Amino acid sequence: METTTIDILRHGRTTADDIFRGQVDTPLAEEGFLQMQASLAPYRDPSPWQLVISSPLQRCLNFAETLAQEINSEVLTQRGFIEMDYGDWDGRPFKEVRAEDPELFNNVWQKPYDYAPPNGETFHDFYERVDGAWQQLVSDHQGKHMLLVCHGGVIRALLGKLMQSPLTALSRIDVPYASLSQIKIYHQPGRADWPQLSFHRPRP
């Protein structure tokens, strides 16, 4: 039986934490970089990763490129793993948007599966985009041990898909900065792939 192992690392703290941080390209804070290093430290000697995959946004990619160079690994970017697009709200402060349209703000925050920001991505479209990128990743690199560096919303979608959770339950999954999860996918000829969550833990 062949096994694909994918470790999933959320980016660390950024330089702007009080905004709708979807596809706006906010950089990591120095603290965030150190958080990510600390999360991976127990697994680095020796490094198990044959490939590093990253969202193209710099809060993920800058760390991914540094790590890949350190462990002599290739790094690939995949736009399917980019964070949700908040449309007209992307990059704007929470308090500004809340003051402008409190009803829609509350609906998007509390029921993202039913409401979307103006000109933003619907949660259903986001969920399907992430799932498509995941299926392609597993298909293209079956049997490898990979590290995926991405975003909180992406990780919730992936864990929800794995656990077959309804969309309404995804907000119940806590994904702290620099948290690390591991998914193993077991491949057997003639049978459907069997994915299993090995762990989901916050940074040390």
Instruction: Provide the edge-to-edge strand list for the sheet that holds 74-77.
Output: 74-77, 51-54, 145-150, 2-10, 180-187, 194-201
Question: Is 129 or 44 the better-scoring residue by pLDDT?
Answer: 129
CB 157 within 8 A of CB 82: no
Question: For 108, what's the count of Cα atoms within 13 Å in the CB-facing half-sphere?
Answer: 21
User: DSSP states of 111-166 as a string?
Assistant: -TTT---TT---HHHHHHHHHHHHHHHHHHTTT-EEEEEE-HHHHHHHHHHHTT--
Provide the 3-class DSSP secondary structure of residue 178.
coil
pLDDT-derived band at 108 (thresholds 50, 70, 90) equals confident
pLDDT tens digits, one per residue of 169-194: 777 889 999 999 999 999 988 888 89
CB 10 within 8 A of CB 178: yes
pLDDT tens digits, one per residue of 134-156: 999 999 999 999 999 999 999 99
Q: Which two tokens stand for residue 48?
A: 């198990």
- Write the CB contacts of 170 (distance below 8 Å, at least 6 apart in sequence): 113, 156, 157, 159, 160
The pLDDT assigned to 192 comes to: 86
Global model pTM greater than 0.85:
yes
